[in-house]
Amino acid sequence: MEQKFVLFGPQHLVVMALTLIVPLVLAAIVRGARGTRIERVVSLSLAVVLIGTWIAWYVLFIARHWITLDNVFPMNLCDWATIAVLVALVRPSIFAFELAYFWSLAGTLQGLVTPDVNYSFPEPQFVVFMLGHAVILASVIYLMAGAKMRPVPASIPRVIGWSFAYAGAAALIDWVLGVNYGFFRAKPGHATALELLSDWPLYIPEMIVIGALATLVLYSPWALADLINRRRGGH
């Protein structure tokens, strides 16, 4: 008998813990091996899992007749984060990584913390949803810890600019098709941090402000590290 999903229950906590632990272990293996081949194998393996999970999501939704205009297109921020992560894993670049870093930690992380699932493991919806979000975040953590990738000051305006591009594209699709990608027409039907914001449409400018602030907050550890290094170098 299927068990209802419990927010922050044992299974949920295990998934979140593994999302952090697994990429750190992979990063340690890569650093210990000191070779580009093992790094390449790990990166491509994460990419394969991510693509496989994406395909499995469509197979599941088609099999259960859940496919609608609201979910058939890759127009959620997590979808764009997935593409950025895949590019960063297959063809590493600061541009792909910075989008993956900010979008996954600002958006995908919320999906992992407040997942839109009804039942716990081994329900396929739970597996596909959790694995998809977890691998996105794990890949970003691995790229930071194993491949030593990081955002730079110029990443901030670039990410904000591309975030507006995403918002514009999602809002256009919403308006043309009457759907709700990016939650520009309504709040999601399950519990999220958006419940703390004003009613529609006031929460939209609030999301924009919060997104900009989140970008600055997510960059602050790197800014602090650079400041400390400069001061050490000055001595």
Task: Please give the tally of structural domains in the chain.
Answer: 1
Q: What angle do CA 38, 41, 46 make, to 5 degrees?
A: 130
In this predicted structure, what is the pLDDT of residue 175?
93
Does residue 228 lie in a domain region? yes
In this predicted structure, what is the pLDDT of residue 129?
92
Instruction: Tell me if 186 sits within 8 A of 174, measured CB to CB.
Output: no
The residue with tokens 């670039």 is 158
Instruction: Tell me if 43 sits within 8 A of 147, measured CB to CB.
Output: yes
Facing residues of 4 across strands? 119
| CA proximity to 142, closest of 34, 41, 20, 225 | 20
Does residue 129 lie in a domain region? yes
In this predicted structure, what is the pLDDT of residue 234?
59
Does residue 4 lie in a domain region? no
The kind and range of the H/E element at 6 are none
Does residue 111 lie in a domain region? yes
Distance separating alpha carbons of residues 19 and 45, to the nearest angstrom: 15
Does residue 226 lie in a domain region? yes
Facing residues of 119 across strands? 4
Q: Which residues of the chain have pLDDT under 50?
A: none
Contacts of 36 (CB under 8 A, 6+ apart): none
Q: How far is CA 155 from the centre of its chain?
A: 17
In this predicted structure, what is the pLDDT of residue 78?
87
Does residue 60 lie in a domain region? yes
Distance separating alpha carbons of residues 40 and 232, to the nearest angstrom: 33
Does residue 91 lie in a domain region? yes
Please give the residue range of the domain that contains residue 60: 10-234
In this predicted structure, what is the pLDDT of residue 145?
92
Q: Give, in order, the Cα–Cα distances in Å from 111 to each of 119, 134, 187, 228.
A: 15, 9, 14, 33
Contacts of 65 (CB under 8 A, 6+ apart): none
In this predicted structure, what is the pLDDT of residue 191?
65
Does residue 2 lie in a domain region? no
In this predicted structure, what is the pLDDT of residue 231?
81
104-132: burial string, b at 16+ Cβ within 10 Å, e else: bbbbbbbbbebbebeebeebebbbbbbbb
Q: What is the pTM of this model?
A: 0.89
Distance separating alpha carbons of residues 100 and 85, to the nearest angstrom: 5
